[in-house]
Amino acid sequence: MREQSGRFVDNDPILPLGQHTEVVLRETRRAENLAVRMISFRHVSRVYPSPGGEVHALRDVSLEIAPGTFCAVTGPSGCGKSTLLNLLGGLDQPTSGEISVDGLALHSADENALTAYRRERLGIIFQFFNLLPAMTAIENVELPLLLRGDRARDARARAAEMLELVGLTPRADAFPHQMSGGEMQRAAVARALVHRPSLLLADEPTGNLDSDNAARVLELLQKIASQRLATLIMVTHSPEAAAAAERRIPMMDGRLS
């Protein structure tokens, strides 16, 4: 048995067949695991101590999300949506249970690993855009790359690519105060994706937009998911926004409902 690439070689003098097979199987399994569950929660609980008694923000949540999926987390205020998002962002730790993202065990990762995770693999979109007012759209988008030390020319080129993706090329030199809410949010989406994160977290990304602008932002998020640019987890109160996602994760009282 000789495969084209020469990878599965029977008569390799260095590694006998048994070990080859073992390595190939192990690699295949790893690839399958990643493909099947980019995000996995296993029996995750988060209990906050409080003077009036413990608050059970998450109760025994188990969940798997395939890579590239666009998920909407919905449910009434206080049901645990932000807690779930904070755990995924590596900003909080579960009281019990296991969370893994992209092969990284967040519940047991040390501070260095969590910092690297947040910087490299995560993009975040906020309800109020959080663009820097003294910078143009393209300057806002390229900033994360400049801060990590990319060359100015490369950062500019990548930022221009991202503005193209979000349909803002003509507005590259506009300042936030010259942009509509929808344009600001699309610039914020470009900024969140500029460093090629595998996971994009969004907390009420359309919460501050009128319905036309909200629809355009949702279309953009759908495009990002369909091109498999990132897995997208969006917390939302809006039924329209939830309907735009491929999968809805309804929560109630700290549990999936």
Residues contributing to the site for ligand ADP (CB under 6 A): 48, 50, 55, 57, 75, 77-83
Contact criterion met (CB below 8 Å) for 212 and 182: yes
20 vs 237 by CB, closer to Mg ion: 237
The site string for Mg ion over 22-51 (x = CB under 5 A, - otherwise) reads ------------------------------
5 vs 77 by CB, closer to Mg ion: 77
The site string for Mg ion over 46-85 (x = CB under 5 A, - otherwise) reads ------------------------------------x---
- Give, in order, the Cα–Cα distances in Å from 66 to each of 37, 107, 165, 230: 5, 19, 23, 11
Residue 80 binding target from ligand ADP, Mg ion, none, CB below 5 to 8 Å by type: ligand ADP
Residue 114 binding target from ligand ADP, Mg ion, none, CB below 5 to 8 Å by type: none
4 vs 50 by CB, closer to ligand ADP: 50
Query: Residue 215: exposed, middle, or buried by beta-carbon count in 10 A (0-12, 13-18, 19+)?
Result: middle
CA 56 to chain centre: 25
Residue 109 binding target from ligand ADP, Mg ion, none, CB below 5 to 8 Å by type: none
The per-type count for the chain, helices as H runs and strands as E runs, is 8, 10
CB of 250 to ligand ADP, least distance (A): 11
124 vs 165 by CB, closer to ligand ADP: 124
Helical packing angle, 137-147 and 181-193, nearest 10° = 20
Report the Cα–Cα distance between both ends of the chain, in Å, rounded: 51
Q: Which among 5, 30, 4, 25 is positioned nearest to 17, based on CA atoms? A: 25
Nearest residue relative to Mg ion (C-beta): 82
Spell out the residues 6+ positions from residue 216 whose beta carbon is closer than 8 angstroms to its own.
167, 182, 186
75 vs 123 by CB, closer to ligand ADP: 75
Footprint of Mg ion (CB under 5 A): 82
